Amino acid sequence: MKFGISSVLIVAAAPCLAETSAGFVRLRDTSVEERPLSLSIWYPSADQASGTVGGNPVFEGALAAPDAAFPDGALPLVVVSHGGLRSAAESGAWLSSSIARAGYVVVEVNAPRPDNAALALDEIWRRPQDIRRAIDLVLADETWGPRLDGSRVSVAGFALGATAALSVAGADMDAARYLRSCSADRATEEPDCGWYDAQGVDLSETSPEGLAGLARDPRVTSVIAVNPEYLSALGAVPAGVSALRMSLGNPDNASADGQIPQAVVIPGASIVDAFAICTDLGPAILLEEEGEASLCGESPEARRIIHQEISDAMISFLGGGAEQAGAD
């Protein structure tokens, strides 16, 4: 297994920051040649921030303390799969660092971003594989394995990442129903159907072997799903796995049988609030590049409040129902 520590990329050095922040390191796995993974690992730290991670000209990065000392004892693990098909690496840095400061080791999974709709088709089953692979890697790693409580493993995701998290937690996928998700009468329900259609790609071309290989990871004791996609094709999370479903904005009606009960709704939010806070120039850059300036939301202050609500709800769940599930 080829699994080494890559150099830590700090997007913007910030030597004068006085605020304490989560420790950070990046691990890279190239054991699967066609799908290398970069794992962003966050953990509690009393060190001062010396830079930011996950930032770019559009979005602010999260404060980080690279290579900070690790606290004593083994901590619970939270694996984060953030965003839809075209989300950038480390889009969830703002969330991962927040959860880590509450006493968890958080691993954000970053896989290669598909360049086109045809390549993106199989992300529905590849992302759950990525999550399982990330759990394998950190638990087996001689540095990180002893630092983790393998009896308390949670997964969290947004959008397609939430679908992947639910799959790993044991929510069975109805493949036939999934393959009809972009049919004419339902195409507006899922965010990527228009993109697939514009490039002449049909969900029926998804690998049947890949879909058939979706399976529960028995190590996962709890799951957090924020605005999951293709929810109507998923079954119930099995007994023994604690589940939190969150909606940014109005809850959808896709959970036809109530198999994943709605627990938290943030009414003033939308799925774009899963992105980081925009820089001052972010909206203008998005407009110049024919992007959506609406990705920046109402204001940095409003998004900061929503981020706090999201992380507070997740941390409360992880310290309550999720922790109890791991003890059962």
> Given phi > 0 = left and psi -120 to 50 = alpha, else beta, which region is 130?
alpha
| pTM exceeds 0.85, yes or no | yes
Q: How is domain 3-327 classified at the architecture level of CATH? A: 3-Layer(aba) Sandwich (3.40)
| Extents of the domains making up the chain | 3-327
Whole-number pLDDT of residue 83: 79
Whole-number pLDDT of residue 7: 29
Nearest 5°: phi and psi at 265?
-125, 130
Whole-number pLDDT of residue 87: 78
Find out whether 118 and 85 touch, Cβ atoms under 8 Å.
Answer: no
- Separation between Cα atoms, residue 314 and residue 242, nearest integer Å: 12
Strand pairing of 75-81 and 148-158?
parallel
What whole-number percentage of the chain has pLDDT above 90?
75
Rg (C-alpha) for the chain, rounded Å, is: 19
| CA nearest neighbour of 262 among 248, 273, 270, 251 | 251
Whole-number pLDDT of residue 262: 64
Positions in the chain short of pLDDT 50: 1-17, 254-256, 325-326
